[in-house]
Chains A and B, each alone.
Chain A
Amino acid sequence: MRIIIVGAGFTGIQLAKLLVNEKNAVTIIDNDLETLNHVGNQVDCTTVCADGNNLETLEDAGIANTDALVCVTSDDEVNMITCSLVDAVYPDVLKIARVRNYAYYTNRRNAEKKHSNDFTGKHRPLYGINYMINPDVEAADAIVQAVENGAVGNVLTFDNSELEIASIIVEKGSVFDGIALKDIRSKTDKTLLVSYIEKDGVTSLPSGNTIIEAGNNVGILLSKHDLSEAMELCGSKRKQIQKIALIGAGRIGTRVAEQLISSNRSTISKVFSAFKTKRTQDFVIIDSNPELTNAASERFSEARVMCADASDAAFLNEEGITSFDLAICATHNHEMNMILAAYLESLGVGQTISLVKSSDFKDVAAKLGIDVPIALRDAVVDSIMSHLRGKSVKEIHTVNDGKLEIVECEVSSESKAAGKALKDIADPGMFLVLLNKKAGVEEYQIANGNTTLLSGDHVVLITNSENSKKVLSFFVASE
């Protein structure tokens, strides 16, 4: 795949690294020579020093033969114009633009859903952009996802499935402590699959002989309903989340509140809203900016809105925030988020979610005792990567700073894997098939060694990032 990235900022570089790891041909365009030199030293890719919104520059960089264009400059307008420009001349190129200004952002999925009769297929993509990526939206979605999963570590979910991968830390005294994976079935009758293990900062794909120790972070594939039981087996308790405090009523906070509050209401229940309000969660929004709190109070009638400094212990005690089940720190100050989340955790708040800048801070956050750190930049990179994958790849998640990838794909008829049982194609350490779905069936099943793959099956597998391309081509039609 040939990909042109316009803008060599953090996201651009991070993206280039991941793409180069997958043996893609990447060209980075930026107008700052020094930055490009730096990129050239770090990443194995072509660099062009020019303005990216110039069609000639793009043509020189080979846009005509490129599969995808990703615009991640700091300037929304440049990103959007560049895509529109390319769309006019090269409509077949996949165009992705980062759009920070929410006013420009159009959620393609929502737009298509709303205008399903006359929108899909007939129109060119909006502004010529196939996918718009808004960092706030991605971060907010990640936070909402985390809350819906009970705010326990990182949880990955799959479309149309009850299954998820929860990353749980094994505590001392857990029944899993000192047990080999092949014996795990004897400890519980629930269907679980350990998909990865993080030991002393090293993440690996486990085999049957791998032994779980206290302090390990394990990624367990299980059904949503079994999560609390799995948590218990790992030695930690999970409480039903009733009281949520959201700190930060900015763009991300507003979006989080909107989704968390509206998810409690269905259209029918609006009529009976009088009965419903008693059952909704206790939702408190805190911000120190009076303008933001006023706007929030006008927007969210179900939430209690406070204009105060969330680090003020007197205020927290007065409002009983310390006894809350969950605190979400989503202010624009990411360092503050972490400190605040750690502080609230120490005061007795059940669980904390904190927005952090990048995955580098995730380790810091984990050390501080924050349950779920959400990395803003990683959310953007993840989202772009998932859009860049080939058509048969439905969704991709990166685990632990992109060292592992969870990929969903369809087994094609030319694939060598078709018609074989999993234990026959197993390659420990390379990949691990987690789930499979027979063609025509809606539900995913947790895979085991005797599962036979047929062409048309969907499989979800976890693999090292370096090998993901190779593993994928093994399942999907090889080129």
Chain B
Amino acid sequence: MKLKSYLASFFKIVSILLAIVGATFIIPIIVAVAYNEHSVLPSFIIPMVCSFLFLLIINIPTRKIPIQFGTRFTFVIVAFSWIFLSLMGAIPLYYSGAFPSFCDALFESVSGFSTTGSTVLSDVEILPRSINLWRCLTHWLGGMGVVTLTVALMPLLGVGGFQLIKAETTGPEKGKVTARITTTAKVLWMIYTGFTITETILLKIAGMDWVDALSHALATLGTGGFSTRSLSIGGYNSLAIDIIITVFMFLAGINFSLYFYAFSRKFEDIFSNSEFKAYIAIIVVIITAVTISIIPVYHSAGKSLRYASFQVISLMSTTGFATADFLEWPSSAQFWLLLTFFIGGCSGSTSGGVKVVRWVILRKQVHNETSRMLHPHGVFSIRLNNRVAQKDIVFNVVSFITVYLFLVAITTWIGTLGKVDLWSSFTGALSMVGNVGPGFGLLGPSFNYGFLPKFVKYWYCFAMLAGRLELYTMIIFFMPSYWKK
């Protein structure tokens, strides 16, 4: 009886979620109609109609069964939501004929929803514009989280909604900015949409056409990295576009709760946010270091600053846009960029990676350990945002980073099995788990992931999803204790 209602709840939530994503197909459909790309229309319309039918088939017979699920079940719901989502996102890519195999289409879809932004294609400019827009739209949907969107639109989830969102959002401390989780989810999505519209307009003014402007805005806010140009943002070679995208990548890497505080005029909460301060400090230091290192390449401080800040913020916020090939930069500059692979953006943002706040906590713990050596009787506590952090937060962070590095290690190993050299597969693994996009070596910003063997692509899909869902939601199924009653 319980299992039946759990299963019904599961399919109901998944069907609602897929129908919401199906509804977003309307945007590429409009673009396809506008640009006379009639051949790709069926590959959008058919899955859209199917998702609506699925919604009806599931919900009509089960409408009397209320949605209910336990804590244990939330992980199943969120994990499978993302898997189904990726499969659904791959359908238009595959049936439009833009991608040679379903494996490639799936990799592209997962890379999109997980906001990684690694493509398997060498030339994206030949793709239909509607397909390119859909690739960027997956970033946008995956960035803030599709489950969050579902909760925002479907208040019926009630208390369980917070459990679901917790399994999807990032960071060690998850809270709500408003009393009701539905309101919080709505507020976050509204801020997100507001930024996207602003950036679209700015990019249009800076010289892109509407579809490109929207595509890049979607990809920036989701900290994804897909572009409609093969040379990424570098293809535009425009200072204005560089600046706009740099600023919005920076903004997308910040905890979106802070924008809510800004709108409700709680500026003290913003300035006391430890992660925010650290994020800015790290970015300033790394940009300075990289700028100095690449002055010999560009022979101009201004140009160096422009390219350095774009690349650093792009990698730090795990977006993965490029305006320059950093593989041609001196290794002293590359070192700093590699460092950003380990850091990531802020918790509660759309970025991936380990997240700044976890390093902040570890730094504070190191400080406490050294103080404890000097003052054996001292009592120390960790403060975040001028408040005391949860007691076991250090253990939480340490175990996260351990699992993270373990997953990077396995992903590296699988890459080497696919005959990729060690350096490329290591940085590729960091890029996959951290949802960054480009790696170093063969997987650098001017190359693509198309040459990889299928099994490596499938594993990378898993690694990207695990990275996006902050590991535990994905890997909990591999823990024996999960299956014990």
A residues adjacent to B (C-beta < 8 A): 271, 290, 293-294, 296-299, 301, 304-308, 315, 318-319
Besides A298-B381, A299-B388, A318-B377, 7 more A-B contacts (Cβ < 8 Å) are A297-B379, A297-B380, A298-B388, A301-B386, A307-B377, A308-B377, A315-B377
Q: Are B271 and A307 in contact (CB under 8 A)?
A: no
Question: What is the distance, in angstroms, from B386's C-beta to the closest C-beta of chain A?
Answer: 8
**A residues near B375, Cβ cutoff 8 Å:** 304, 306, 319
Asked if A304 and B378 sit within 8 Å, CB to CB, the answer is yes
Residue of A nearest to B267 (CB): A271
Chain B residues lying within 8 Å of A305, measured Cβ to Cβ, are 378-380
B residues 110-153 in Cβ contact with A at 8 Å: none
Q: Give me the interface of B with A, judged by CB distance under 8 Å.
A: 271, 375-381, 383, 386, 388
Jot down 25 A-B pairs with beta carbons below 8 A, ordered by A.
Answer: A271-B271, A290-B379, A293-B379, A294-B379, A294-B381, A296-B379, A297-B379, A297-B380, A298-B388, A299-B388, A301-B383, A301-B386, A304-B375, A304-B378, A305-B379, A306-B375, A306-B377, A306-B378, A306-B379, A308-B377, A315-B377, A318-B376, A318-B377, A319-B375, A319-B377
Q: How far is it, in angstroms, between the C-alpha of A202 and the C-alpha of B265 when the chains are bound?
A: 62
Q: How far is the CA of A301 from the CA of B386 in the complex (A)?
A: 8
Residues of chain A contacted by B383 (CB below 8 angstroms):
298, 301
B377 and A297 within 8 A (CB): no
CA distance A305 to B383 in the complex (A): 14
A297 touches B271 (CB 8 A): no
Complex interface: chain B residues within 8 A of A299 (CB): 388
Q: Inside 8 A of B380's CB, which chain A residues have their CB?
A: 297, 305
Residues of B within 8 A of A301 (CB): 383, 386
Which residue of A is nearest B388, CB measured? A298
Which 5 residue pairs spanning A and B have beta carbons closest together?
A308-B377, A298-B388, A293-B379, A297-B379, A305-B379
Q: For the complex, what is the distance from the CA of A271 to the CA of B272, rounded to whole Å?
A: 9
Distance in angstroms between the alpha carbons of A298 and B381 in the assembled complex: 6
Q: Which residue on chain B has the smallest CB distance to residue A267?
A: B268
Please indicate the chain A residues that have their CB under 8 angstroms from the CB of B377 in the complex: 306-308, 315, 318-319
Quick one: which of B380, B381, B383, B386 has the most chain A CB within 10 A? B381
On chain A, the residues within 8 Å of B271 by CB distance are 271
Q: In the docked arrangement, what's the CA distance between A315 and B375, Å?
A: 9
Complex CA gap A318/B378 in Å reads 12
With both chains docked as a complex, state the minimum distance between the C-beta of A24 and any C-beta of chain B, in angstroms. Answer: 49
- Return B122 CB to nearest CB of chain A, in Å: 49
In the assembled complex, the Cα of A290 lies from the Cα of B377 at a distance in Å of 10
In the complex, which residues of chain A have a beta carbon less than 8 angstroms from the beta carbon of B376? 318
Instruction: Give min CB distance, B468 to chain A, whole Å.
Output: 33
Q: How far is the CB of A265 from chain B (nearest CB, A)?
A: 12
Query: In the complex, how many angstroms separate the beta carbon of B371 from the nearest chain A beta carbon?
Result: 8
Name which residue of chain A comes closest to B380, CB basis.
Answer: A297
A315 vs B378: C-alpha distance in the bound complex, in angstroms? 11
Whole-angstrom distance between the Cβ of A267 and the nearest chain B Cβ: 10
Residues of chain B with a CB closer than 8 A to A308's CB: 377
**Given the complex of chains A and B, what is the CA–CA distance between A36 and B379 in angstroms?**
48
Contact residues in B for A296 (Cβ distance below 8 Å): 379
What is the chain A residue whose CB lies nearest that of B387?
A298
Using CB atoms, name the residue of chain B closest to A294.
B379
Q: Would you give the shortest CB distance from B456 to chain A, in whole angstroms?
A: 47
Min Cβ gap A91→B in Å is 39
Q: How far is the CA of A319 from the CA of B377 in the complex (A)?
A: 9
Chain B residue contacts of A271, Cβ below 8 A: 271
Residues on A with beta carbons closer than 8 Å to the beta carbon of B386: 301
Q: Which residue of A lies closest to B389 (CB)?
A: A298
Contacts of A294 in B (CB 8 A): 379, 381
Residues from chain A with Cβ under 8 Å of B381 in the complex: 294, 297-298
On chain A, the residues within 8 Å of B388 by CB distance are 298-299
The minimal Cβ–Cβ distance linking A279 to chain B, given in whole angstroms, is 19
Determine the residue in chain A with the shortest Cβ distance to B386: A301
**Residue numbers in B under 8 Å from A319 (CB-CB):** 375, 377
Smallest CB gap from B277: residue in A: A274
User: Once bound together, how far apart are the Cα atoms of A308 and B378, in whole Å?
Assistant: 8
The residue on B at minimum CB distance from A312 is: B377
Residues of A near B379 (CB, < 8 A) are 290, 293-294, 296-297, 305-307
Nearest chain-A residue to B382 (Cβ)? A298
In angstroms, Cα B386 to Cα A438, docked, is 47
Beta-carbon nearest neighbor of A299 in chain B: B388
Which chain A residue lies CB-closest to B368? A297
* A301–B376 alpha-carbon span in the complex (Å): 18
* C-alpha gap A319/B378 in the complex (Å): 10
In the complex, how many angstroms separate the beta carbon of B363 from the nearest chain A beta carbon? 15
Q: How far is the CA of A304 from the CA of B377 in the complex (A)?
A: 10
Q: Which residue of B lies closest to A309 (CB)?
A: B377
B370 to chain A, nearest CB (A): 14
Cα–Cα distance between A296 and B380 once the two chains are bound (Å): 9
Least CB separation from A300: chain B residue: B381
In this complex, the member of B375, B379, B386 whose beta carbon has the largest number of chain A beta carbons within 10 angstroms is B379
A144 CB, min distance to chain B CBs, angstroms: 23
Complex: how many Å from CA A294 to CA B383? 13
Write out the residue numbers on chain B whose beta carbons fall within 8 Å of the beta carbon of A307: 377-379
State in angstroms the CA–CA spacing of A298 and B377 once bound together. 16
Query: What's the minimum C-beta distance from A282 to chain B, rounded to whole angstroms?
Result: 13
CA distance A149 to B379 in the complex (A): 30
Q: In the complex, how many angstroms separate the beta carbon of A225 from the nearest chain B beta carbon?
A: 35
> A351 to nearest B CB, angstroms?
23
List chain B residues, Cβ under 8 A from A298. 381, 383, 388
Q: How far is the CB of B268 from chain A (nearest CB, A)?
A: 8
Give the nearest-CB partner of A315 in chain B. Answer: B377
Roughly how many angstroms separate A293 CA and B377 CA in the complex, as a whole number? 10
CB nearest neighbor in B for A290:
B379
Nearest A residue to B271, CB-CB: A271
Cα A19 to Cα B71 in complex, Å, equals 65
Task: Give Cα A172 to B479, complex, Å.
Answer: 80
Q: Min CB distance, A431 to chain B, in Å?
A: 52
CA A298 to CA B384, docked complex, whole Å: 11
Nearest CB in chain B: distance from A266 CB, A: 14
Which residues of the partner chain B approach A297 to less than 8 Å between Cβ atoms? 379-381
Q: Whole-angstrom distance from the CB of A457 to the nearest CB of chain B?
A: 45
Complex-state Cα separation, A305 to B388, whole angstroms: 15
- Complex formed: what's the CA distance from A126 to B388 in Å? 32
**Nearest B residue to A271, CB-CB:** B271
User: What separation, in Å, do the CA atoms of A308 and B375 have in the docked complex?
Assistant: 11
From B271, B378, B383, B388, name the one whose CB has the most chain A CB atoms within 10 angstroms: B378
